[in-house]
Amino acid sequence: MRQEDLQQMRTLRLFDGMAESYVESMLRASFLQRFPARVELAREGEPADFLHLIIDGQVEVYASHHRRETTVSILGPGQSFILAAVLLDRVYLKSARALSPSRILMIPAEAVRQYFERDVHFARSLGIELAIAYRDIVKELKNQKLRSSLERLANWLLARNTETGASGRFALPFDKKVLAARLGMAPEVLSRSFAALAAYAVSVDGSSVHLQDIDALRKVAHPSAFIDDPAT
């Protein structure tokens, strides 16, 4: 790892409050890897060998079973994945692939477990990280089971709008195909849902979206803090 990269890694939230010498030693054992788009970063069923931390890029986390596939989440810089498997020393329950060229900090599972036992601050960070991940997936389960696909799309648009400054205009951060997977629907359904939302002043041109009547959109979406609000 290069000196300036190391410097950046040291400041990761995950290491907050941790003894410096521990951080150093963990980082020495870790790899900062670059991956091209479409590469598989982890495969369901394999033993957890590294905790993955996204420094740069987008990663799709998904699971397969019996010729079907479902996207669980799409992660970006600052987020980690497969933490639970690492902590418990079990196999991955999900696979992950890079959606864009990515830089991933890979911390050996063994080291994670070791310092989890050894350093309160690190244990605390991991616990909080896990708790957040847990709540995120609960929200996703609710999103999937309590909403129609039209509602899921509407809420995603509202959330994305808020996230990007609430200007009413933003670009889709990935292909519609991927968005469809993220929202748990076939691409065809996403297409039809966008069409249906035109009635609520949602206009889409390629990847640029314009929400011209947020209130109308909220009425279809029925947003809920307990599903959509990342800070809740």
Partner DNA sequence: CGACCGGTTGAATGCATTCAAAAGGCGTGG
Partner DNA sequence: CCACGCCTTTTGAATGCATTCAACCGGTCG
Residue 137 near a copy of itself by CB under 8 A:
yes
Q: Which of residues 125-164 bind DNA (CB under 7 A)?
A: 148-150
Residue type (1 letter), 83: L
Shortest Cβ distance from residue 151 to DNA (Å)? 8
Give how far the C-alpha of residue 177 lies from the chain's centroid of Cα atoms, to the nearest Å: 17
- Among 28, 43, 91, 212, which residue interacts with a copy of itself (rule: CB under 8 A)? 91
- Among 132, 166, 171, 186, which residue interacts with a copy of itself (rule: CB under 8 A)? 132
> What DSSP element (H or E) covers 22?
helix 20-29
Shortest Cβ distance from residue 14 to a copy of itself (Å)? 13
In angstroms, rounded to a whole number, what is the distance separating the alpha carbons of residues 99 and 195?
Answer: 26
Residue with tokens 């987008």: 58
In angstroms, rounded to a whole number, what is the distance separating the alpha carbons of residues 167 and 188?
Answer: 28
| Complex with a copy of itself: residue 29 or 133, whichever CB lies closer | 133
Give how far the C-alpha of residue 207 lies from the chain's centroid of Cα atoms, to the nearest Å: 20
- Among 84, 204, 210, 223, which residue interacts with DNA (rule: CB under 7 A)? 204
**C-alpha closest to that of 107 among 7, 23, 19:** 23
Residue 192 contact among a copy of itself, DNA, none, beta carbon within 5 to 8 Å by kind: DNA
Residue 64 near DNA by CB under 7 A:
no
> Looking at the DSSP assignment, which residues form a beta bridge with residue 34?
103
Residue 204 contact among DNA, a copy of itself, none, beta carbon within 5 to 8 Å by kind: DNA
Residue 187 contact among a copy of itself, DNA, none, beta carbon within 5 to 8 Å by kind: DNA
Q: What is the side-by-side strand order in the sheet with 80-81?
A: 31-35, 102-108, 50-56, 80-81
Using alpha carbons only, what angle is made at residue 80 by residues 71 and 27, rounded to the nearest 5 degrees?
Answer: 150
Residue 19 contact among DNA, a copy of itself, none, beta carbon within 5 to 8 Å by kind: none
In angstroms, rounded to a whole number, what is the distance separating the alpha carbons of residues 114 and 52?
Answer: 16
Residue 56 contact among a copy of itself, DNA, none, beta carbon within 5 to 8 Å by kind: none
In angstroms, rounded to a whole number, what is the distance separating the alpha carbons of residues 195 and 133?
Answer: 33
Residues contributing to the site for DNA (CB under 7 A): 68, 148-150, 175-177, 184-192, 194-195, 204, 206-207
Residues contributing to the site for a copy of itself (CB under 8 A): 44-45, 63-66, 68-70, 72, 83-85, 87-88, 90-91, 93-94, 116-118, 120, 123-124, 126-128, 130-135, 137-142, 144-147, 184, 222, 224-227, 232
